Amino acid sequence: MVTYGGMARQPVIVPTSQLIFNGVALHGFWMTRWNHVNPLSKRLEMLNYLAQLCTTGKFTPPRHKLIPISDYKEAFTNSTGFTNTKLVFTFD
């Protein structure tokens, strides 16, 4: 399981049976720390790998809603609570 963006404030949910019977293990990952301990060549290798996953459809972004900058109040209100939607500003 990969989860990225803890700012979404959503818990990571894993069935207990997966942990106990299937040996699933969870491990935290902090991108900032990883960037500090890996050389640029390793970071570029990782980004190329992720780009390949995106272009082949194996990695997709979360649901999101485009909000014009003129509706900044709506975006701010929705981004400060628990939502299942990522908000992205557009500058129309």
Residue 41 has a pLDDT of: 96
**CA torsion, points 16, 18, 23, 25, in degrees to nearest 10?**
-70
d(CA 74, CA 84): 15
Q: Is pLDDT at 75 greater than 80 in this prediction?
A: no
Question: Quick one: average pLDDT of 41-70?
Answer: 86
Residue 82: pLDDT band by 50, 70, 90 thresholds?
very low
Domain boundaries, the chain: 1-50, 61-92
- Least Cα distance to 83 among 65, 67, 58 occurs for 65
Specify whether the CB–CB gap between 24 and 14 falls below 8 A. Answer: yes
Task: Look over the chain and give the mean of its residue pLDDT values, rounded to a whole number.
Answer: 78
Question: Quick one: average pLDDT of 59-63?
Answer: 75
CA 52 from centre of chain: 17
Q: Is pLDDT at 8 greater than 70 in this prediction?
A: no
21 or 89, greater pLDDT: 21
